[in-house]
Amino acid sequence: MSLDDPNKLEESVFKPTPITEILTKADPANRAIVLGKDFTSNHYAYFYPLISGYSAIKLQVIQDVIAHNLFNANTKEKINWNLINMLGGKYIISSNQINSDSIQTISTDNERKEILYLNPNSLPKAWFVKRVKTFATPEDVVLYMNETEFDPSAEALIVSKDASKTYNGNGSVKLLDQTPNSLEFNVNTDSTQFFVLSEIYYPKGWTAKLDDKELDILQVNHVMRGVEIDPGKHKLTFEFHPQTYYASVTAVWIGDILIWLLILGGGYLVFRKKRNIHED
């Protein structure tokens, strides 16, 4: 195969398989995770949103849960299904047989020697919880996430000196739109609720608004986001708008304009000088 044809090269590397046929038709609001020797491979990210994979700029909170939670749970197979569930891991890909009652085999790839499992317990993009449990340190949160009593569908873990809070968890959450820099939801509840978003917590640049009211985004379950929601029907939006980036873009534009003004001004002075010499 010639390396000169990028299209044929791409087709060869990312050719369809029984597993990718399922993933490409699946809801992109969910995610897949590769367990085993190919955990750091980004191959399946070509076809579907991926929890696992390699990134040279991985955030520390992500590395924390990989190192201390993912394979350190109090379960017989040591896999932290609560972590996978809260990150939306609907599909599990593994080169090894996973003996767990919580997942179902739905496909195999004999060529790559991999198995695709369906995880029916994975959580949606966002949901309401019934309690917010507080801890003294991030380390305490991470350790608690390995316990079997941790239930991410019902509780959110935060670092705070305040007392834990309870909610009834009633209401509806509907994802309207999602891009890399924004998410939009319709939320409807008859009382104050706590909303958990299955997206990585990154405080620099992300904002949350309930209609026109700005909300504080809390670090939830060490890696995710959460906000408290007022009663009623609302539009909830998350947007990434880093001030440093846009300030830098503005500075670059100003610099470009000044350079062009200097070039044009210098050209005009040279033109005037030549014309004066010609007239003399």
Q: Report the pLDDT value the prediction gives residue 244, as an integer from 0 to 100.
A: 65
Same domain, 139 and 114: no
Same domain, 142 and 233: yes
- Inter-residue contact 72 to 16 (CB < 8 Å): no
Residue 1 domain-assigned (yes or no)? no
The span from the CA of 80 to the CA of 33, in Å, is 12
Q: What is the pLDDT of residues 5-49, one digit of tens each?
A: 677 778 878 999 999 999 999 999 999 999 989 999 999 999 999
Residue 51 domain-assigned (yes or no)? yes
Provide the whole-model pTM: 0.84
Among 96, 118, 140, the domain-final residue is 118
What does the block give as tokens for 120? 């029916």
Q: Report the pLDDT value the prediction gives residue 115, as an integer from 0 to 100.
A: 98
- Inter-residue contact 166 to 190 (CB < 8 Å): no
Among 118, 153, 176, the domain-final residue is 118
Phi, psi of 19 (to 5 degrees): -75, -45
Q: Report the pLDDT value the prediction gives residue 251, as an integer from 0 to 100.
A: 61
Phi, psi of 155 (to 5 degrees): -135, 150
Same domain, 139 and 49: no
The span from the CA of 213 to the CA of 58, in Å, is 31
Q: Report the pLDDT value the prediction gives residue 111, as an integer from 0 to 100.
A: 93
Q: Report the pLDDT value the prediction gives residue 220, as an integer from 0 to 100.
A: 99
Mean pLDDT by 10 residues, the chain (280 residues): 68 91 96 95 96 91 96 87 98 94 95 97 98 98 96 98 96 97 98 98 96 98 98 98 66 69 72 64
Burial class (CB in 10 A: 0-12, 13-18, 19+), 29: middle
Q: Is the alpha carbon torsion for 250, 200, 31, 169 positive or negative?
A: negative
What residues make up the domain containing 107? 6-118
